Structure 1
Amino acid sequence: MIFNAPDFLPPLPEVPDTVPICDFMFDEQYGRRDISQSLDAYTCGITGRSISAEDQRKRVSFLARSLAKELGWKVNEGSEYDKVVGIFAHNTIDIMTVNWAIHRVNGISSPANAVYSIDELKYQLSFSNCKALFTVTSLSPVALDAADQAGLPRDRVYLCEMPGDAQIPAGFKTVSNLIKDGEQLPDLERIRWSAVQGARQTAFLCYSSGTSGLPKAVMISHRNVIANTIQSCLFEKGSRDKISPGYRDVALGLLPQSHIYGLVLIGHASTYRGDQVIVLPKFEPQTYLNAIAKYRINTLYLVPPIILMMAKNEELLNKFDLRSVREIYSGAAPLAREILQELTRRYPTWKIRQAYGLTECSPLVTATISEDVWPGSSGSLIPGCAIKLVTDDGQEVTSYNEAGEVLVRSPAVVLGYLKNEKATNETFVDLPDGRFLRTGDKGEIRISPTTGVEHLWIVDRIKELIKVKGHQVAPAELEAYLLDHPAIADCAVISVPDEAAGEVPKAFVVLSPSARLKLDSKETIARNIQQYVEKGKARYKWISGGIQFIDVVPKSASGKILRRLLRDSEREKRRAAGAKM
């Protein structure tokens, strides 16, 4: 049985497939709000510096001209995979300009998580075959070491300016330098695409933690992003029209622009609607709350740990004027019902809306309608998106309140994984009624008691992913890394609950014979292992749930780790201690 978007939502029109994102975002014929009627596209929440939509359009053009000259690229020559550019940076008001300038030269943007270690960034630069890298001064030590190890020349590393930069290191060009140079260069030739090229040409390489091995490079086409931008805007249209037909939002741009949530739902959809985005480079409670009050922000795009902070710090929140807030948009991880109810009690006019999506869906699949907030639900399907639920034995679910793996069909479902045909074939399946993405999440459709509208509820996870503050961690990636430690003979990693992060990894370790012979205490060995992970992995991958030493890792006859048994054991231990699992 196929489940679709509610009938009262506008239908999805034909999605352009011969248009690059850089044209779609600034050409009003494709449906974006008139540039003359748009708010300032991006404003720095710290300095107040703004760029208008018209400024941004010009800056994209100027920066693209400079990139073409700097890198020796011709717009209509070569494959997009010859023109991959990495972005390893905190949020700035120029990041989206950089993305669209890369597209203007017919290239690919490959955003990298700003908390990556040198090895993690080196892997992404090498695997994507990046030809240039944009970073920020505070991250330049990691960026330069990773670039050196990936064979990327330092004169192809550029800097995005940030608030508080005391001095730009000598020898590096900044985005401002490149834009100024580009003003003096002739305009680039227009992109010439053949039919449906937008549907098959990669625009972004975003990295997603799979259930095994290293992160996978998700190939996201121009049409994928365009489709999800239109889909999310159609979903929002009804709520906006109720406020005012010409309503424009002031939105928070705190979530990382390297993450698909921030990249598309804030970076693309907000600009398309003519909204203003107040950009913050990272989360700091006082700065965050001050920005809401100062810039009269209406919509907060957040992840559950930040919402938890707000629920637990009433005294701090009372120091700031938050009356401008209309709604909170929560995504990237489940939001506990208790948190939602606590904030709603304190701020009854706020609508706390949840959403469900994946990098492989570019990203949005469902969202909560403002008038139909149902705690615990992931909301209703967006226009043009359909799902089916499949049970463990391969049967389609044909009724409400029955669980099955969520399979998604949408024009925003991505092309697949770069250089990983096996994972692509396992994840994206061609069925008689279309191409579907296997999400690895188990869900069910329930009927809202308030409106009678269908809602998706995620009830379990089939994929063994750990979601830490919105980041995904693959247990197998950590296990492979841990097995290189000389004290470890075998190991397994599971998710355990954490009040601040939602979930964190915990490791079960079997000591190697050499470690057993040493006189070091287990506490010393555990700390040594922790330091090993902290040195080589991003912070959200640290073993924050602790290390437990065991005699043997439970496995099936085929050698598969039986994490279920470890989770059951952990749950019993926590239950006995009165903790939640």
Structure 2
Amino acid sequence: MVFHPPAWVPQLPEIPDSITVGEFLSNERHGRYNLDLSRSPYTCGLTGKTYTARDVVDRTECIARSLARRLRFDPHDGTEWDRVVCLFSLNTIDYIPLTHAIHRLNGIVTPASAASSVAELQQQLRSSRASAIFTSIPLLGTALEAARAVKIPEEAIFILPLPPSETREVQVTGVVPPSIDDLVAEGRTLPAVKPLSWTKGQGARQVAYLCYSSGTSGLPKAVKISHFNIIANILQIAAFEGSTRKQRGVKTQVNLGVLPLGHIYGLTVIALASQYRGDEVIILPRFNLGTFLDSVEKFKIERLYLVPPIIIQMMNNEEACRRRDLTSVRSVYSGAAPLGAELIRSYLKRYPEVAITQSYGLTEASPMVVITSEVDGLVGSSGSVIPGTKIKLVDVKGKEVTSHETRGELLVQSPSVVLGYFENEKATAETFVWDDDGRWLKTGDEVLVRKSSLGHEHLVVVDRIKELIKVKGHQVAPAELEAHLMAHPFVSDCAVIPVPHPRADEVPKAFVVKSNEAPLDDKETALTLSQHVKEHKARYKWLTGGVAFLDVIPKSPSGKILRRTLKDQEKQRLSSIKAKI
């Protein structure tokens, strides 16, 4: 059974397939909000420095001219793989204009996590075939070391400027590479780059971004995302949310841009979709609770794009939130990881006037698949299918699910589903499958479909199939137990993983960061939390594996729990115990 968008969702407009993402956003021919009426797309939340929509178009062109000369990038020679540029930087207001400039030169952008080590960055530079790097001063040492290892010359390294407060304590030795402002100034003196002349459908075939993802399983893979994929997802997001914005009288709004722009959530959902709709994004280089709250108050931010760890921090720092005027916030949009029902209810109890919505997506879908409507909420769901998208569920026996409230692996069909994995045919064949209805993306996530009070179908994400804990034949979703534990006042943050058990194969074990309200005695706290689960959950869901305490739960920059790290640590602990026996 195939599930479709709700009846109220408008049809997806025609998706242009022969232009770059930058061209799509630089004029109004494809529905982009009027450039002269738009808010300034990108504003620094620390300094207030900003560019108008037309400034962004101008800076894009100047950067492209300068890079064409410095890197000898001829957009009409060779292929896009001859012009791969890595962005290894904290968030800046020039991050997105730079991506447009690289696409203006018929190149590919490969964003790297600002948390990457030298070895991780080196691997990405080598596997992506990058020939240049843009970085920021705090990350320059890592960038230089990784570049030397893969023989990228220093003249192909450039700086994205950050506010002074982010670089004041950084010690830089040697010559600092040219900045993006140097390139803009130089570009004003250079002739225009010859326009691209793409053939019909080239935007659907050509890679725009090479983003690294763990995929639906396994080690990180390079995801080939086309210009068409990104443009499609922007249009899908705009169409789905357009009716609600119109109903609420919202033409343009101010959004928060603290999540990494190098992550597909920050890139497409926050930055590019906002630019298309004429919104303003307040850019923060990284998350800090104080500067985040200050920015909301100063710039009257209306929508907070967040991940669950930030929402948890807000709930755990009530006094800091009360000291700021947060009344401008109209909605909270949470993505990248599931947001537990208990946490949602706690947030709404404190901020009842705010609409809190979730979404579900993945890099392989560019990323959005479902989004919550502000006027059709269902606590615990990730939302409804967006226009142009079809989904189906397949159970453990390989049969299609044909009813609501029945679990199955999620498969997705959408114009935003990517081309595949770069130089990994095996993973591509396993993840992108064909049947009589066409090509489907296997997500590796177990979900179910549930109806809201208004009768519309919503997607409820249960958990990663490979992360489900098997207890005597029963399946236990770590996310369910994590959400339940987060509702307890002794818990600031937590994660649940499977650990081996002689009679039950696996059992749940919780790793907890204690709140200030928790007793100092770990045994007392562990006993209380175990009892908390026993009183509300079935026996097979009890924390039979125990409760351990950490200073911090390991997470990715986008907020996903790194359960693999916890599992490895647990294996080492058990091995150490066995060695002593």
TM-score range, shorter chain: 0.7 to 0.9
**In 2 relative to 1, CA 538–100 (structure 1 residues): closer, same or farther, beyond 3 Å?**
closer
Give 1:72-83 correspondences, 5 Å limit: 72-83=72-83
State the shift of 1:538 in Å. Answer: 12
RMSD: 2.5
State the shift of 1:170 in Å. Answer: 2.5
| Residue in 1 that maps onto 2:197 | 192
State the shift of 1:504 in Å. Answer: 7.7
Give 1:27-426 correspondences, 5 Å limit: 27-164=27-164, 165-166=167-168, 170-210=175-215, 214-244=219-249, 247-426=251-430
Deviations, residues 502-541 of structure 1 (Å, cap 9, x unaligned): 5488999xxxxxxxxxxxxxxxxxxxxx9xxx9xx99986
Deviations, residues 476-498 of structure 1 (Å, cap 9, x unaligned): xxxxxxxxxxxxxxxxxx99958
CA distance in 1 between counterparts of 2:565 and 2:22 reads: 40
**In 2 relative to 1, CA 373–214 (structure 1 residues): closer, same or farther, beyond 3 Å?**
same
- Report the 3-state secondary structure (helix = DSSP H, G, I; strand = E; otherwise coil) of the residue aligned with 1:459: strand
CA distance in 2 between counterparts of 1:538 and 1:41 reads: 22
The residue type paired with residue 163 of structure 1 is: P
| Residue in 2 that maps onto 1:561 | none
CA contact (8 A) 1:336 1:376 kept: yes
CA contact (8 A) 1:363 1:412 kept: yes
**In 2 relative to 1, CA 88–259 (structure 1 residues): closer, same or farther, beyond 3 Å?**
same
The residue type paired with residue 329 of structure 1 is: Y
CA contact (8 A) 2:433 2:439 kept: yes
| Residue in 1 that maps onto 2:464 | 461
Q: Does 1:550 align with 2:574?
A: yes
| Residue in 2 that maps onto 1:569 | none
- Report the 3-state secondary structure (helix = DSSP H, G, I; strand = E; otherwise coil) of the residue aligned with 2:268: helix
CA distance in 1 between counterparts of 2:219 and 2:435 reads: 28
| Residue in 2 that maps onto 1:431 | 435
**In 2 relative to 1, CA 78–504 (structure 1 residues): closer, same or farther, beyond 3 Å?**
farther
CA contact (8 A) 2:134 2:160 kept: yes
State the shift of 1:460 in Å. Answer: 2.9
State the shift of 1:337 in Å. Answer: 1.3
**In 2 relative to 1, CA 211–370 (structure 1 residues): closer, same or farther, beyond 3 Å?**
closer
| Residue in 2 that maps onto 1:446 | 450
Deviations, residues 15-41 of structure 1 (Å, cap 9, x unaligned): 111111111011200110010010011
Is 371-380 or 499-508 further displaced after alignment? 499-508
**In 2 relative to 1, CA 255–551 (structure 1 residues): closer, same or farther, beyond 3 Å?**
closer
- Report the 3-state secondary structure (helix = DSSP H, G, I; strand = E; otherwise coil) of the residue aligned with 2:143: helix
- Report the 3-state secondary structure (helix = DSSP H, G, I; strand = E; otherwise coil) of the residue aligned with 1:338: helix
The two structures have a TM-score, normalised by structure 2, of 0.82
CA distance in 2 between counterparts of 1:125 and 1:284 reads: 29
The alignment-based identity, stated in percent, is 46
- Report the 3-state secondary structure (helix = DSSP H, G, I; strand = E; otherwise coil) of the residue aligned with 2:29: helix
CA distance in 2 between counterparts of 1:267 and 1:461 reads: 27
- Report the 3-state secondary structure (helix = DSSP H, G, I; strand = E; otherwise coil) of the residue aligned with 1:458: strand
CA distance in 1 between counterparts of 2:442 and 2:558 reads: 27
CA contact (8 A) 2:133 2:156 kept: yes
CA distance in 1 between counterparts of 2:385 and 2:59 reads: 36
CA distance in 2 between counterparts of 1:377 and 1:214 reads: 28
State the shift of 1:550 in Å. Answer: 3.1
Gaps in structure 1 of 5+ consecutive residues: 467-493, 509-529, 554-581
CA distance in 1 between counterparts of 2:79 and 2:421 reads: 17
Deviations, residues 53-105 of structure 1 (Å, cap 9, x unaligned): 10000000000111111111111211101110000000000000111100000
| Residue in 2 that maps onto 1:527 | none
State the shift of 1:210 in Å. Answer: 3.6
CA contact (8 A) 1:117 1:538 kept: no
| Residue in 2 that maps onto 1:480 | none
CA contact (8 A) 2:312 2:493 kept: no
- Report the 3-state secondary structure (helix = DSSP H, G, I; strand = E; otherwise coil) of the residue aligned with 1:37: coil
- Report the 3-state secondary structure (helix = DSSP H, G, I; strand = E; otherwise coil) of the residue aligned with 2:2: coil
CA distance in 1 between counterparts of 2:497 and 2:140 reads: 28
- Report the 3-state secondary structure (helix = DSSP H, G, I; strand = E; otherwise coil) of the residue aligned with 2:309: helix
The residue type paired with residue 230 of structure 2 is: V
CA distance in 1 between counterparts of 2:216 and 2:377 reads: 32
**In 2 relative to 1, CA 94–505 (structure 1 residues): closer, same or farther, beyond 3 Å?**
farther
- Report the 3-state secondary structure (helix = DSSP H, G, I; strand = E; otherwise coil) of the residue aligned with 1:25: helix
CA distance in 2 between counterparts of 1:441 and 1:543 reads: 20
Deviations, residues 364-404 of structure 1 (Å, cap 9, x unaligned): 00011101121110110111111011111111111111111
The two structures have a TM-score, normalised by structure 1, of 0.82
CA distance in 1 between counterparts of 2:32 and 2:106 reads: 21
- Report the 3-state secondary structure (helix = DSSP H, G, I; strand = E; otherwise coil) of the residue aligned with 2:152: coil
CA distance in 2 between counterparts of 1:261 and 1:504 reads: 24
- Report the 3-state secondary structure (helix = DSSP H, G, I; strand = E; otherwise coil) of the residue aligned with 1:436: strand
State the shift of 1:211 in Å. Answer: 6.0
The residue type paired with residue 64 of structure 2 is: A
- Report the 3-state secondary structure (helix = DSSP H, G, I; strand = E; otherwise coil) of the residue aligned with 1:148: helix
**In 2 relative to 1, CA 380–211 (structure 1 residues): closer, same or farther, beyond 3 Å?**
closer
CA contact (8 A) 1:94 1:160 kept: yes
Give 1:504-523 correspondences, 5 Å limit: none
Deviations, residues 96-122 of structure 1 (Å, cap 9, x unaligned): 011110000000000000001100000
**In 2 relative to 1, CA 500–140 (structure 1 residues): closer, same or farther, beyond 3 Å?**
farther
**In 2 relative to 1, CA 90–500 (structure 1 residues): closer, same or farther, beyond 3 Å?**
farther
Deviations, residues 101-148 of structure 1 (Å, cap 9, x unaligned): 000000000000000110000000000010100000001111111111
State the shift of 1:547 in Å. Answer: 3.5
State the shift of 1:14 in Å. Answer: 1.8
- Report the 3-state secondary structure (helix = DSSP H, G, I; strand = E; otherwise coil) of the residue aligned with 2:99: helix
CA distance in 2 between counterparts of 1:52 and 1:538 reads: 28
Q: Does 1:14 align with 2:14?
A: yes
CA contact (8 A) 1:506 1:543 kept: no
The residue type paired with residue 151 of structure 1 is: K
CA distance in 2 between counterparts of 1:361 and 1:306 reads: 24
- Report the 3-state secondary structure (helix = DSSP H, G, I; strand = E; otherwise coil) of the residue aligned with 2:281: strand
CA distance in 2 between counterparts of 1:504 and 1:161 reads: 39
CA distance in 2 between counterparts of 1:12 and 1:502 reads: 40
CA distance in 2 between counterparts of 1:154 and 1:505 reads: 44
